[in-house]
Amino acid sequence: MALRTIRVMGDDILRKKCREVKEVTQRIETLIDDMFETMYESNGVGLAAPQVGVLKRIMVIDVGEEPYLFINPVIVDSAGEQTGDEGCLSLPGKSGVVTRPDFVKVRAYDENMEEFELEAEGLLARAICHECDHLEGILYVDKVEGELENVEYDEE
Ligand code: NI
């Protein structure tokens, strides 16, 4: 496994639409491992492939419950509303208020290309929406309500 460089806002690749994954090759397996490692190393709760420069529909999420991998995810149902702070590893040091559904049902494929569905609420639902947006070239700044804030980091 290896850490990958996270692309930051201003990089054109973050604005491109990602392509579907047809098959999980060795190369994609390595990409997925690297995405998890890069996300954890950066203390993020989610990471989408374009953020490491790969235009494929792959995203990883861990909001502190368990690691989730989504290949070719589609949000098939959503309900409710939540308004809260959001951040993104591609906008280091910033956060902003975004309204998202409070519940989503997502359909995706796992590392064996087996289809699954997951129902999520709260922070996990927010993370799924945020990462799915990345696959379309959408950043949370496109949806932010008000100004971006600067986030103070604790040096570890
Ligand atoms: Ni993000």
- Summarised one tens digit per residue, pLDDT across range 34-83 is 999 999 999 999 999 999 999 999 999 999 999 999 999 999 999 999 99
On whether residue 76 sits in a domain, the answer given is yes
On whether residue 66 sits in a domain, the answer given is yes
Q: Which residues pair with 77 in a beta bridge?
A: 105
Q: CB neighbours (10 Å) of residue 81? A: 10
On whether residue 27 sits in a domain, the answer given is yes
On whether residue 41 sits in a domain, the answer given is yes
* 113 CA from centroid of ligand 1 (Å): 24
Catalytic residues: 131
* 61 CA from centroid of ligand 1 (Å): 11
On whether residue 3 sits in a domain, the answer given is no
CA distance 28 to 150: 34
Looking up residue 75, the CATH number of its domain turns out to be 3.90.45.10
Helix or strand or coil: residue 78? strand
Enter the tokens of residue 132.
């799915």
Q: What total number of domains does the chain contain? A: 1
CA distance 91 to 106: 25
Q: Which DSSP letter does residue 18 get?
A: P
- Summarised one tens digit per residue, pLDDT across range 120-156 is 999 999 999 999 999 999 999 999 999 999 987 655 4
Range of the domain at 137: 12-150
On whether residue 47 sits in a domain, the answer given is yes
pTM over 0.85: yes
